Amino acid sequence: MIHSIITGFVLLLILAAAWAVIRNSRALAFLANNAIIVNITPKGRATAVADAAFTSRYLIAKRGAYTTSIAVAGVGDIPYAVIPDMTPTTDTDLSYPLPVGILGLNEDTERMIASSAIAIDSLLTTDAAGQIRTVPSAAGTYWVLGKAKTPAVAQYDQVEVIPCFPYQVVIA
């Protein structure tokens, strides 16, 4: 009896995968990610597909258009993860899974790209094009994503960051 149920379940998964390939490759990624009964994210490391191509490493990502996708974060976006790789430049197929380090879950420091000079121990937030900057003193609402462990002198410098779960601060 149990053998028949398992066989039926496996057959159902195979049929669903075939249907997903015909309909949408992102649905297949969703199905593949949910094929295991309980998904875990060991030490904050996961994979996701990109909504659009980008050609730089160590950018900040936000959640993408799908449950299994990411997009490069901009000013004011809720940060989700660091992308230590870039989309393949010779391939226009965005179904290639990229590694991501989910902020707050990983136990290591992360490299990120500065958009301007950053001092050691500064609280950091997202800036344009997936880069980071110091939380400004100007009035506004910002998402803090970590603290600088090393400084940056100029734009595009790599900064070692102690990441945290993103939290919102309001400066009046």
Strand partners of residue 69 = 49
As for how many domains the chain has, the answer is 2
This prediction has a pTM of 0.74
**Residue 35 sits in which domain range?**
1-39
Per-residue pLDDT for the chain (172 aa), expressed as one digit of tens each?
666 667 766 777 777 766 666 665 565 556 555 555 555 677 888 888 888 888 889 999 999 998 889 999 999 999 999 999 877 666 666 778 888 999 999 888 999 999 999 999 999 999 999 999 999 999 999 999 999 999 999 999 999 999 999 999 999 9
Residue environment code for 24-50, b if the CB has 16+ CB neighbours within 10 A, otherwise e: eebbbbbbeeeeeeeeeeeebebebbb
Same domain, 79 and 155: yes
Both 49 and 133 in one domain: the answer is yes
Asked if 13 and 54 sit in the same domain, the reply is no
Q: Are residues 110 and 154 in the same domain?
A: yes
